[in-house]
Amino acid sequence: MRFLKWLLHNPHETEEEDPFLRTIIRLESLISKLLSILMIGLIGVAVVDLTRFLVADLLQEPIGFFSTTLIEIFGLFLNILIALEILENITAYLQKQVVQVELVIVTSLIAVARKIIIFDFEKLGGLDLIGLAAATLALSVSYWLVRRAKP
C-alpha cells in the first residue's frame, strides 16, 4: 500500500517533500563524488606515468634529447589536461547540481584539438581530417552561441 501511495504521489510536491527525488539527488551526489575521487586518482597516475616517460626518454642516448616525437609528448600532456577539464565538469556539477554546457564544450574542443595535434597523416585519410574540421567548427559555433546567450 505504501508503494502504491509512493507511485501516486502528488507531482506538485517539491523535492524536499518527495522521498524518491531526495533519494535520486543523494545517489547522484554520491556517484559524482565517487567519480571525482576516481578522476583524481587517474590524473595522479597519468602525471606519474608522464613523468616516468619523460625521465626515461631524456636519459636515453643521446642524453638530454627526446627519442620520441614531441607530438606524442604533447598528446600525453593533453590527456592530462582533458582529465582535469572532466574533473572540473564534475566539480561544477557537485557545486551547482547543473551540467555546465560551456565547460562540456570547452572539454570537447580540447579533445578534438588533441586529436588534430596527434593526427597521423600516414594512417588516417583526408575524410578523417574533414571530420575533425567539422567537429571543430560545430563545437566552436556551439561555444560562441552559448557565450552569446549568457546574460
Q: What residue spans define the domains of the chain?
A: 14-149
Q: Which pLDDT score, from 0 to 100, does residue 26 have?
A: 84
* Distance between CA atoms of residues 65 and 77, nearest Å: 18
Q: What is the mean pLDDT of the chain?
A: 82
**CA terminus-to-terminus distance, the chain:** 48
Please compute the mean of the pLDDT values over residues 52-77 and round it to a whole number.
77
Cell of residue 114, nine digits: 588533441
DSSP 16: T
Torsion of CA 8, 9, 10, 13, to 10 degrees: -160
Q: Which residue has the higher pLDDT, 138 or 63?
A: 138
Q: Which pLDDT score, from 0 to 100, does residue 66 have?
A: 66
pLDDT at residue 46 is higher than 80: yes
How does pLDDT run across 80-124, given as a tens digit for each residue?
999 998 898 888 888 877 778 888 899 899 899 888 888 877 788
Please compute the mean of the pLDDT values over residues 1-9 and round it to a whole number.
54
